[in-house]
Structure 1
Amino acid sequence: MSLAATLVGGMVFGLALAAPPGPMNAVIATESVLRGWSAGFRAGLGAMLADVCFFLLALVGLVAFVQRSPAVRTVLFVAGGLLMLYFAYGAVASARSFVDDDVDEGKGFRKAFVLALTNPFQIAFWLTVGVGLLEPGQLDVLAALPVVGQSLAGRAVVQTGEPAIIVGLFAGVVAWILGFPAALVSARRRVESVAPVVAWLSAAVLAGSGLLFLAEAASRL
């Protein structure tokens, strides 16, 4: 398979991973509509930096230690759950006031980075699928898409075991964190009421994810 096809396959896979609704996109959305495109992009960079860290740690085997340690994973679920609930509270406050009084430009970056670092599911991904991308084999990139993945399975299979697929994956993530904030900012310019709606939805996603994380931690005790 050609290098170009591998890169494109990696990009599609990266977009499939980055696009579904979740805590990271909730943070990116809130930052985008309240502070603008650059703030949303920086939040996306924070989440992506955590992925880079996990990838490097997985290569040297440290992520495997976390995956094998139930106590560490429970602590991560508790920490991640509490952080998500805290950030959900902040999103609610922003939705009520329509603005974010905190002008710290690095807030979104740090918020997304810390949330990603305390996400055991992200660790599990890089321990399994992520590292597996560098092992010789095949990857069905469209099968990873939510909802429609099963119906598209087998239509875009690329070869793994090449660095190009990792490059493509992160290129796909970059494309998302560039385009998603831009789309939200554009929508806000057309309809001013978009900002509080996005903030409320982001708060709901963060709160729901936080409660799920805490429930998972409780089930492990």
Structure 2
Amino acid sequence: MFDSVGTLAVGAVFGLALAAPPGPMNAIIAEESVLRGWFPGFKAGLGAFTADALFFVLTLVGVVAIIDAQPGIRPILYLIGGVLMCYFALDAFRSAKDAFASSVDGDDPAAGFRKTFVLAATNPYQIGFWLTVGVGLLKEGTLDVFSHVPYVGGDLAGTLVVETGSPTLLIGFFAGIVVWIVSFPATLVGVGNRVDELAPVIATLSGIVLAGFGVLFLGVGATGLV
């Protein structure tokens, strides 16, 4: 029992550590949370979570491997993702302008979910993750948890190594992601309720993050097609 609880906890730490670093998904979650409230922010997180769950299923049945084996597909995915990120960046800047004017409305309640789901579904990094680390979670072996975490992997590599091959580890992994998409919007909303100026600032920062990743993806995609 204690081994199962420990495995579940490690999986949760892994999922939380992967979900928390700054990036396009968290930029959209932040924008939705501060402009429209906790539930729209949670739904934006749920879009990315759903894409991860879909990738896991497709990887198990071999579909993602077939896609990844086609070298011409990856640059196209980068270009699609880059265009979408730049488009969503413009939307974030418009939302920031409306927030400064105190005129943000409810908009489409499912917009955040669609944004993150589409971005995640066209993200070559996530496809690569599920082809390697994701499937490895269910295979017997070991996993250096923090070595796969963006930005801090090199510094923390080797500090948390866990045995894989247990479904409990995967359950914990997805549970960790859920913890993040519930708590991150709640934290932003809580802070935003006390700082009125936070909403337009977060929306602006979200637009900058999305635009930056969009340009990066467009550059990678264009280079891959040359």
Give the shorter-chain TM-score range.
over 0.9
CA distance in 1, matches of 2:108, 2:9: 36
Q: Is the 8 A contact 1:28 1:44 kept in 2?
A: yes
List 4+ stretches of structure 1 deviating above 6 A: none
Q: Secondary structure at the match of 1:154?
A: coil
Match in the other structure for 1:201: 205
2:8 pairs with 1:44: no
Superposed displacement of residue 141, structure 1? 2.0
Query: Which residue of 2 is the match for residue 23 of structure 1?
Result: 24
Q: Is the 8 A contact 1:88 1:204 kept in 2?
A: yes
- Amino acid across the alignment from 2:76: V
Task: Look up the match of 1:58.
Answer: 59
Query: Which residues in structure 2 correspond to 1:35-184 (within 5 Å)?
Result: 35-98=36-99, 99-101=103-105, 103-184=107-188
Aligned partners of 1:147 and 1:92: how far apart in 2?
26
| TM-score of the two chains, using structure 1 as the length reference | 0.95
Q: How many residues align?
A: 221
Question: What is the deviation of 1:147?
Answer: 4.5
**Runs of 5+ consecutive residues of structure 1 not aligned to the other structure:** none
Q: CA deviation at 1:35?
A: 0.5
CA shift at 1:140, angstroms? 2.1
**Could you list the runs of 5+ residues in structure 2 that have no partner in the other structure?**
none
SS class of match (2:162): strand
Q: CA deviation at 1:142?
A: 3.2
Residues 141 and 33 of structure 1, relative CA distance in 2, 3 Å threshold: same
